[in-house]
Amino acid sequence: MIIDLRSDTVTKPGKAMLEAMMHAELGDDVFAEDPTVKKLEEKVAALFGMEAGLFCPSGTMTNQIAVKAHTQPLDEIICDKICHIYNYETGGWAFHSGVSIRLTEGKNGVMTVPQIEELILPDFDWLPNTTLVAIENTVNKGGGSVYTVEEMRAISDFCRSKKLIFHLDGARIFNALTALNKKPQHLAGLFDSISVCISKGLGAPVGSVLLGSKAFIKKSRKIRKVMGGGMRQSGLLAAACIYALENNVARLADDHQRAKQLAETLATLPWVKKVLPVATNIVIFEVNSSAQVAELLAAKGIKVQPFSPILVRMVTHLDFTEEMLISTQNELKSLVISA
């Protein structure tokens, strides 16, 4: 048995999802003629109380389209230093949009209004224009840490007062909402744009949806095309996303429970120096050598992700069963590593 905890992107579509894909009504979405894609876009937009949606191949693309659509060259965006947009999108903000970036040092990636306020630049010739604030919820590199609705609202109100645009990288927003016991509707009106990944914890094979106003999505459609993301009979993928939204949201709580149980086991091990607080489905822990731990676990059939030379990440998901949890806990306890 191979246990893959590297990411919640490793899940494979099951029979029922494949069945939904096989029966999807299809058309050419570059001509805006794929009914299943339209259905998905409308469904996610309605869920979050936004006007319109755009189906894209990846969360990197939805984030980068948002940055591009909201900014011009000479603009500057504010993010946290551990966020995905800054670290894991190949510097796309510079490449696609010609903007600079200024970083907060939030607690586990969660930034506050005073931290953002400090970074807003005055209007001088020699400074870029602060335009956009982007938060991530949950924060991947923060160990799946969560912004509460109140924290998001505080930043939203602040952005409005400073005429800043507010984007949510909600790759794992359903994990955040599960942890908060809130509905997507609770985010209505807070953001100018939201990126939602369906290929993470929700278990679809491919796909993210970008949400915003009708005008923003119209502009974003054109940017998606120039980035090469105009897809044809993509209803095949959208059908998997619709299935995921209808069937795999409620079960995220199981992933969170299993992540907590993994963290509890890790906390008892002498070679684990620290475990970041677990709020959702991500467990990040500190060791002497992440490469060594990854290698020893790989030898036992357990795949984990070295996240830095000393940090290891495990992500629970749809295909990580109770049986796999018990097996992983036992293997972790049996590892012999000097502290």
Ligand X SMILES: *Cc1c(COP(=O)(O)O)cnc(C)c1O
Under the rule (CB under 6 A), what is the footprint of ligand X?
Answer: 58-60, 63, 84, 136, 140, 169, 171, 197, 199-200, 208
Q: How many CA atoms lie within 13 A of 174 on its CB side?
A: 26
Q: Which residue is nearest to ligand X (CB)?
A: 59
Residue with tokens 């109140």: 150
User: In degrees to the nearest 10, what's the CA dihedral of 283, 210, 85, 114?
Assistant: -90
What's the DSSP call for residue 80? E
In this structure, are residues 76 and 103 in contact, taking their beta carbons and an 8 Å threshold? no
Tokens, residue 84:
């995905």
Least separation in angstroms between residue 88's CB and ligand X is 7
Q: Residue 111 or 171: which CB sits closer to ligand X?
A: 171
Residue with tokens 């980068």: 64
Least separation in angstroms between residue 193's CB and ligand X is 13
Q: Residue 146 or 332: which CB sits closer to ligand X?
A: 146
Least separation in angstroms between residue 117's CB and ligand X is 24
Instruction: State the Cα angle at 246 between 244 and 250, rounded to 5°.
Output: 90
Q: Residue 190 or 196: which CB sits closer to ligand X?
A: 196
Least separation in angstroms between residue 60's CB and ligand X is 3
The 3-state DSSP class for residue 232 equals coil
Q: Residue 171 or 293: which CB sits closer to ligand X?
A: 171
Q: Residue 200 or 317: which CB sits closer to ligand X?
A: 200
Which stretches of 225-315 are assigned E, i.e. beta strand? 274-275, 282-286, 302-303, 305-306, 311-315
Least separation in angstroms between residue 148's CB and ligand X is 18
